[in-house]
């Protein structure tokens, strides 16, 4: 089976594959940033003393965490153009789906992070006259983020892998690009082996980086 | 300056404070003592509204703490507080700890806040530690920084919640010395502590609490010399003979 293994096909289509990787990375980065921002707001809402706010945020989180990601991707692919009344392109609908989906997970991570900050720290900020917002911004969230860095990054690695699900709506990410090349050049083994190695190397580097970070900063 | 009028507080069905009334006048040092679980820490946290209470009222400089219309952050910014576990912010340096609320609450500029921080660090003899992080300091040093942080707000009164209870014995005095000096400068202070030596040296009054009630509230001399209630007697004999 490996007799006629031809690595050259990868080099020949390198440019095409790199474009696919750019889509994958763009999707990952935007979903992380958007998910983190929305997730932090959701976490603050969930922990808010206002019952309605906390209920709405809680429902949101439970809803998205009960849905398979692939369903959410499908759903937004058809839903977003329908709501906006015009086609937006698969990429943007997928982006929205990822941000909203990830936000539910980041919310729970941030909530745990905020709750990991000791009550005494909150008292100390309050006693100095900081308002709720100031206390969150200058005292609680910086510590919460610090405590959460390893889990946030692990979630980022999972997200990086999950972006490959966009193949269901035909977005040309890294995996789909490789698949196209594989079929066009009839080099399935070479292409999928390459894809596996690339995912493996990136995710392993990420994991090792997190471990080093944990050791260095005693997280 | 600080007045408590029939303050009661419940956690669910459990009553932690039972109609507590007392007053601390300007320049007075009042020590609050009592066995653990007697409600003394809760009481002092009610004074600046960190803990809500359900009945009665507390006023500080004639501003009601219990009134919903009161701007609590503003009121708290005028009352310094020092905690048992120091509660310095671990993610910023010592100097930044002292500057944070000056910048964000009092809107002082960077130069002013920095100068104030250095001045107070010199006062607690830690000027050389300004750029370190709290975790790099000993407990005693951290607590002195915490006092400096509270003083940076130019408070009208200071609350101390067991400021030496988390310290190793050899570090207790360096913190008490700062507090004694503060008292002799005329600072209004309410201090929850078991340090009866401190109470003897600087307190004007001693409050003894048990099961959420203020059982004794008298001058220092009366407290240490005269016949007291059984519980206060038992408590004192326990903490003075070990």
- Number of helices (H), then strands (E), belonging to chain A: the values are 10, 0
Confidence of residue B133 (pLDDT cuts 50, 70, 90): very high
Q: Does B153 touch chain A (CB under 8 A)?
A: yes
Instruction: Determine whether the interchain pair B101/A130 forms a contact, defined as Cβ–Cβ distance below 8 Å.
Output: yes
- Least CA distance to A122: which residue of chain B? B87
Distance CA B93, CA A169 (A): 50
Residue B46: CB atoms within 10 A of its CB come to 23
**Shortest Cα distance from B152 to chain A (angstroms)?**
10
Name residues whose C-beta falls within 8 Å of residue B210's C-beta, 6 or more positions apart in sequence.
Answer: B34, B35, B38, B231, B232, B235
CB A17 within 8 A of CB A182: no
Mode of pairing for the β-strands spanning B157-161 and B79-82: parallel
Taking alpha carbons only, the member of B95, B65, B68, B67 closest to residue B78 is B65
Domain A26-173 has what CATH class?
mainly alpha
Confidence of residue A21 (pLDDT cuts 50, 70, 90): very high
pLDDT in tens, B159-217: 999 999 999 989 999 999 999 999 999 999 999 998 998 999 999 999 999 999 999 99
pLDDT in tens, A35-55: 999 999 999 999 988 999 999
Q: Is the dihedral of CA B85, B91, B97, B103 positive or negative?
A: negative
pLDDT in tens, A89-115: 888 889 999 999 999 999 999 999 999
Q: Does B103 touch chain A (CB under 8 A)?
A: no
Q: Does B184 touch chain A (CB under 8 A)?
A: no
Question: Is residue B241's pLDDT more than 70?
Answer: no
Residues of chain A with pLDDT > 90, as a percent, come to 55
- Per-residue model confidence (pLDDT) at position A9: 80
Residues of chain B with pLDDT > 70, as a percent, come to 96
Q: Does B151 touch chain A (CB under 8 A)?
A: no
Backbone φ, ψ for residue B52 (5° rounding): -75, 155
Size of interface A-B (CB pairs under 8 A): 64
Taking alpha carbons only, the member of B167, B159, B111, B119 closest to residue B143 is B167
Instruction: Determine whether the interchain pair B73/A126 forms a contact, defined as Cβ–Cβ distance below 8 Å.
Output: yes
Q: Does A116 touch chain B (CB under 8 A)?
A: no
Instruction: Determine whether the interchain pair B50/A126 forms a contact, defined as Cβ–Cβ distance below 8 Å.
Output: yes
Residue ranges of domains in chain A: 26-173
Give pTM, 2 decimals. Answer: 0.82
């Amino acid at each position: 089976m490996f007799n006629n293994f031809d690595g050259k096909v990868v080099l020949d289509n390198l440019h095409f594959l790199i474009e696919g990787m750019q889509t994958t990375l763009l999707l990952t980065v935007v979903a992380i940033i958007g998910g983190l921002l929305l997730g932090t707001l959701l976490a603050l809402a969930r922990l808010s003393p206002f019952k309605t706010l906390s209920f709405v945020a809680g429902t949101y989180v439970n809803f998205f965490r009960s849905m398979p990601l692939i369903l959410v991707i499908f759903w937004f692919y058809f839903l977003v153009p329908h709501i906006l009344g015009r086609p937006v392109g698969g990429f943007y609908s997928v982006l929205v789906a990822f941000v909203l989906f990830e936000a539910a997970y980041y919310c729970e991570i941030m909530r745990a992070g905020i709750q990991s900050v000791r009550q005494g720290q909150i008292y100390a900020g309050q006693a100095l006259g900081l308002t709720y917002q100031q206390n969150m911004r200058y005292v609680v969230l910086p510590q919460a983020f610090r405590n959460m860095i390893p889990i946030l990054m692990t979630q980022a690695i999972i997200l990086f892998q999950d972006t490959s699900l966009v193949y269901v709506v035909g977005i040309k990410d890294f995996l789909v690009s490789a698949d196209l090349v594989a079929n066009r050049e009839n080099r399935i083994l070479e292409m999928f082996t390459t894809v596996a190695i690339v995912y493996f190397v990136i995710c392993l580097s990420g994991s090792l980086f997190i471990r080093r970070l944990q050791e260095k900063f005693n997280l | 300056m600080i007045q408590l009028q029939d303050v009661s507080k419940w956690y669910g069905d459990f009553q932690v404070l039972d109609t507590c009334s007392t007053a601390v006048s300007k320049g007075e040092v009042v020590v609050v003592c009592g066995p653990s679980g007697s409600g003394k820490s809760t009481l002092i946290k009610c004074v600046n509204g960190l803990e809500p209470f359900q009945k009665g009222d507390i006023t500080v400089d004639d501003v009601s703490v219990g009134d919903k219309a009161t701007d609590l952050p503003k009121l708290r910014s005028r009352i310094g507080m020092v905690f048992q576990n120091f509660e310095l912010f671990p993610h910023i340096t010592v100097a930044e700890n002292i500057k944070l609320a000056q910048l964000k609450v009092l809107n002082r500029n960077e130069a002013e806040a920095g100068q104030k921080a250095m001045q107070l660090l010199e006062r607690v003899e830690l000027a050389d530690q300004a750029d370190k992080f709290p975790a790099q300091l000993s407990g005693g040093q951290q607590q002195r920084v915490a006092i400096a942080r509270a003083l940076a707000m130019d408070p009208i009164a200071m609350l101390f919640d067991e400021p030496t209870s988390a310290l190793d014995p050899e570090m207790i005095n360096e913190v008490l010395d700062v507090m004694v000096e503060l008292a002799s400068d005329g600072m209004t202070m309410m201090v929850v502590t078991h340090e009866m030596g401190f109470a003897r040296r600087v307190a004007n009054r001693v409050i003894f609490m048990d099961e959420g009630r203020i059982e004794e509230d008298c001058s220092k001399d009366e407290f240490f010399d005269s016949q007291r209630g059984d519980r206060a007697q038992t408590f004192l004999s326990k903490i003075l003979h070990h």
